[in-house]
Amino acid sequence: MAESGLKLLLLLPEDSEALVTSISPKRVRGLVEVVGGMPPEEVMARAWWGVTVDFSIAVEGALKKIRFFLCGWLDFVGMGYIQQFARFGAGRILKTLDELEHITGMVADYRTDPVALERLWHEADPARLDAILFGSRQVRLDPCA
Q: How many residues does the chain have?
A: 145
The answer for 24, left when phi > 0, alpha when psi is -120 to 50, beta otherwise, is: beta
Domain ranges of the chain: 8-134
Cβ atoms of 54 and 62 closer than 8 Å: no
What does the alpha-carbon distance between residue 34 and residue 27 come to, in Å, rounded to a whole number?
16
DSSP designation for 136: S
Identify the three-state secondary structure at position 113.
coil
Tell me 77's DSSP state.
S
Please give the backbone phi and psi of residue 93, each rounded to the nearest 5 degrees, phi first: -85, 130
Q: In a structure prediction context, what are the per-residue pLDDT tens digits for the chain, which is 145 residues long?
A: 444 667 777 777 777 888 888 877 788 778 778 887 788 788 888 888 888 877 788 888 888 888 888 888 887 777 888 888 888 888 889 898 888 888 888 888 887 777 877 777 778 888 888 888 887 655 555 666 5
- For β-strands 32-34 and 49-52, DSSP reports them as unpaired
Tell me which CATH code domain 8-134 carries. Answer: 3.40.50
